[in-house]
């Protein structure tokens, strides 16, 4: 009994495999091919190749752009969307004449054709990477600074792909960097970070005054921001001391004047005068009240 059950189980497995293979042949599923990565520079042309058999009359071709939502690029023997005006078909491949950064992404070509085993379907996936030159970077340079303080200049570009590296210039001359320190280079007065685009003066001095500009550069191109002047001035300690002395003298003179007035009795005379005037006012009020009361009784 045990042997018969084993044989039945084996027969069932064999039947399942036969059915699965027949299904595979009937619908023509093919194994995925190697993934392609194509790199192009923005505003130049690129070809997205579909590695599949030669095109026949009965072949059906579709190109799709994958992502959060799948969109047709080539469907029903016609290019779709904005590809109509800037692309053309070369057999199964697409030639984009003017590639833009929005074209970057993953594409898939699907070729189906009838065969003896049924409908044969083949797929090929291509990833398009678009290289973009930097735009004019945004440069932040303070117009003035005090000697001895920490000052940081910033430079940034948001469009370049791959991300650019930055070089700072003072009066048109590039600031030196120490390649042994990688992305950061330091000398006695400043630190340059070529990745983040910062130029930091640890203790800025009057010698650091000048016109500063920054250049963003990657493998595609480079752009530089307009120069901006930074003026570094020493802290005017003598002027601060003189101002403090003047304020102290004014306070002292005012204090001496108050003391002198008290000694001369100016404040006491004024007080006695106020007391006498208030007393006379009180006497006048009392006499008026008495006259009013007397007239009321009569």
Q: What is the pLDDT of residues 247-293, one digit of tens each?
A: 667 787 677 767 766 776 666 554 444 545 554 554 444 455 544 44
Using CB atoms within 10 Å of the CB of residue 282, give its burial: 0 to 12 exposed, 13 to 18 middle, 19+ buried. exposed
Q: CA 139, CA 214: separation in Å to the nearest integer?
A: 7
**Which pLDDT does position 20 carry in this prediction?**
42
Are residue 201 and residue 165 in the same domain, yes or no?
Answer: yes
Kindly state whether residues 75 and 111 are assigned to the same domain: yes
Mean per-residue pLDDT of the chain: 78
pLDDT > 70 in the chain, percent: 64
Q: How many separate helices (H) and strands (E) can be counted in the chain?
A: 4, 19
What is the model's pLDDT at position 110? 92
Q: What is the mean pLDDT of residues 9-25?
A: 44
Q: Which of 131, 161, 180 is the last residue of a domain?
A: 131
- Per-residue pLDDT tens over the stretch 194-219: 999 999 999 999 999 999 999 999 99
Q: Same domain for 160 and 118?
A: no
- The confidence score (pLDDT) of residue 33 equals 57
Distance CA 93, CA 27 (A): 24
Say whether pLDDT at 120 is over 50: yes
54/108 same-domain check: yes
Which of 18-27, 33-42, 143-152 is predicted least confidently? 18-27
Q: CA–CA separation, 24 vs 40, rounded Å? A: 37
End-to-end CA distance of the chain: 148
Domain enclosing residue 68, as ranges:
36-131
Final residue in a domain of this structure, among 110, 131, 152: 131
Asked if pLDDT for residue 170 goes beyond 50, the answer is: yes
**Helix extents (H) in the chain:** 2-27, 83-86, 237-264, 266-297
Q: Is 63 inside a domain boundary?
A: yes
């Amino acid at each position: 009994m045990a042997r018969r059950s084993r044989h039945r189980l084996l027969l069932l497995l064999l039947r399942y495999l036969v059915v699965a293979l027949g299904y595979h042949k009937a619908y023509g599923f093919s194994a995925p091919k190697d993934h392609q990565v194509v790199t192009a520079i923005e505003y130049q042309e690129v070809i997205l190749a579909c590695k599949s058999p030669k095109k026949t009359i009965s072949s059906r071709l579709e190109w799709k752009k994958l992502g959060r939502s799948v969109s047709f690029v080539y469907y029903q023997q016609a290019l779709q969307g904005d590809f109509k005006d800037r692309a053309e078909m070369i057999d199964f491949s697409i030639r984009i004449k003017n590639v833009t950064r929005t074209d970057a992404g993953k594409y898939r070509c699907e070729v189906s054709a009838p065969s003896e085993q049924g409908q044969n379907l083949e797929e090929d996936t291509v990833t398009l990477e678009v290289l973009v030159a930097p735009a004019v970077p945004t440069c932040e340079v303070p117009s003035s600074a005090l000697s001895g303080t920490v000052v940081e200049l910033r430079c940034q570009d948001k469009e370049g792909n791959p991300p650019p590296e930055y070089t700072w210039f003072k009066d048109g001359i590039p600031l030196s960097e120490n390649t042994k320190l990688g992305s950061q280079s330091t000398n006695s007065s400043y630190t340059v970070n070529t990745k983040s685009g910062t130029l930091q003066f640890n203790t800025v001095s009057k010698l650091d005054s000048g016109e500063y500009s920054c250049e963003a550069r990657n493998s595609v191109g480079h752009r530089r921001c307009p120069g901006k002047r930074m003026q570094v001035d020493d802290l005017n300690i003598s002027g601060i001391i003189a101002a403090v002395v003047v304020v102290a003298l004014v306070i002292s003179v005012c204090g001496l004047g108050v003391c002198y007035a008290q000694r001369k009795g100016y404040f006491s005379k004024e007080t006695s005068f106020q007391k006498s005037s208030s007393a006379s006012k009180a006497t006048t009020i009392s006499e008026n009240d008495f006259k009013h009361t007397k007239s009321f009784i009569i």
